[in-house]
Amino acid sequence: MAGYDVVTFGETMIRFSTAPGERLETATTVEIGIGGAESNVAVALARLGRRVAWASVLPRNPFGARIAGELRRHGVDTTHIHWVDQGRAGVYYLDTGAAPRPTQVLYDRAGSAIAVCNPEDIDPALATRGRLLHLTGITPALSPSCAEITRRLLTAGTAAGIPVSIDVNYRSRLWTPKAAAETLAPLCSEATILFCGRNDAGTLWGLSGSDEEVARGLAERFDPAVTVLTAGADGALALTRDGTIYREPAVPVDVIDRVGAGDAFAAGFLHGYLDGDVALGLRLGVRLAALKMTVRGDLAVLSDDDIAACLADAGSSHTIVR
C-alpha cells in the first residue's frame, strides 16, 4: 500500500523579497521565505490534508534547516531529504513590482547542493511509495545529475504503474527553448497528467491557436491521460484521452503575489484527480490559484476555513483530515 498520496522531488530556494514600493537596489530590509515549484505543490496538498513526501538535497546549515523546517511545519514529510555537509542552498531575490513596473526575479542558484549532487543520492524507489509522482520541467534544467534523478524517478514510477504528473514550467533563465523541448519531450511522453502553460506550449513546441487547439496539439504529441492547459486570466482547460474537454474560467482576484499560483493550481487539480474527478480538480485548481495570489510568499498558506470554503465552492465533498 502506498505510504503517501503524492511524492515529489526538486529544489527549494531561500527567497529574499522587497516590500511593495521598495527596490533591491536601495532596500535596507528584505522578507525571508522559501520557494520551489515542487515544494509549493507539496505544501498546498498537505494543507488540503494529503500525505505528501518531498525529496531533495540540502546543506547542513541554517538555510537548509530553514527550508526543511518550514516544509515540515506545513505537514510535508521531509525524511527523504539527502543532507550534505558541504554546499549551499539556492537563493532567489524578488524585486517586488506594482503596475506598470513588473516584478523582477534574480536567481543565485548555480552550484547549489542539489545541482551538484550524485544521482545515487536519491533512491528512485521513492517514486513507488506514493499514489502519484509529481515532477516539473525545472529540475532537469538544474544540472545533468538532476535530469538523471528525474529520469530515474519517472522510470521507477511508470514501471510500478504509478501515475505521473509533469508540469512543464519552462524557465528561460535556466535553459533555451530548444534544450528544454528536447529534454522534456521524452518525460512528457511518459506523463499521466501533463500540465503546460499556453505560452510554454508555444515557446517550446510552436503550438498556437485557441486553447482547445493548443491542448489537442499537446495531447497528440505526448498522449497523456489528461492534458491540462493553463491560460492565466483566461482560466484553464483539461482534455482527457477520450476527447472530453473541461473548461474553467479564472476567479477574479486582487493580486498580492503571483508567485506560486501555478503550483497552487497544480495542487488543486491533483487533489481532485486523486478523488477521481477531473472536473473537480480543474474547479479547485483555479480557486486555489486565486487564493494563493492573495498571500505573500511562494507558499499557499491558507487556513482550514479558506480551504473548506474553496472546496465547497468547487463542489467537493472531501473533508480535510490532519
Cα radius of gyration rounded to whole Å, the chain: 18
Low-confidence residues in the chain, pLDDT < 70: 1-2, 317-322
For the domain that residue 218 is a member of, what is the CATH number? Answer: 3.40.1190.20
Q: Are 299 and 260 in contact (CB under 8 A)?
A: yes
Domain that residue 163 falls in? 4-11+37-87+110-314
The H or E element containing residue 20 is none
pLDDT at residue number 1: 45
For the chain, the domain total comes to 1
pLDDT at residue number 304: 85
Packing angle of the helix pair 37-47, 62-73 (nearest 10 deg): 30
From 5, 211, 263, 298, active-site residue: 263
pLDDT at residue number 89: 98
Identify whether 95 is part of a domain: no
Structure pTM? 0.95
Q: Which of 202, 207, 191, 200 is nearest to 273 (CA)?
A: 191
Q: CA 231 to CA 211: how far, in whole Å?
A: 8
C-alpha cell at 58: 540540502
What does the pLDDT look like over 141-161, one tens digit per residue?
999 999 999 999 999 999 999
Q: Are 260 and 281 in contact (CB under 8 A)?
A: no
Strand 236-240 and strand 245-248: the pairing is antiparallel
What does the pLDDT look like over 220-269, one tens digit per residue?
999 999 999 999 999 999 999 999 999 999 999 999 999 999 999 999 99
Identify whether 254 is part of a domain: yes
Identify whether 32 is part of a domain: no
φ/ψ (deg, to 5) at 281: -55, -40
Read off the amino acid at residue 64: G
Identify whether 22 is part of a domain: no
Identify whether 148 is part of a domain: yes
Q: CA 76 to CA 70: how far, in whole Å?
A: 9
Identify whether 98 is part of a domain: no
Identify whether 51 is part of a domain: yes
C-alpha cell at 284: 479547485
pLDDT at residue number 2: 65
Identify whether 176 is part of a domain: yes
Is 263 known to be catalytic? Answer: yes
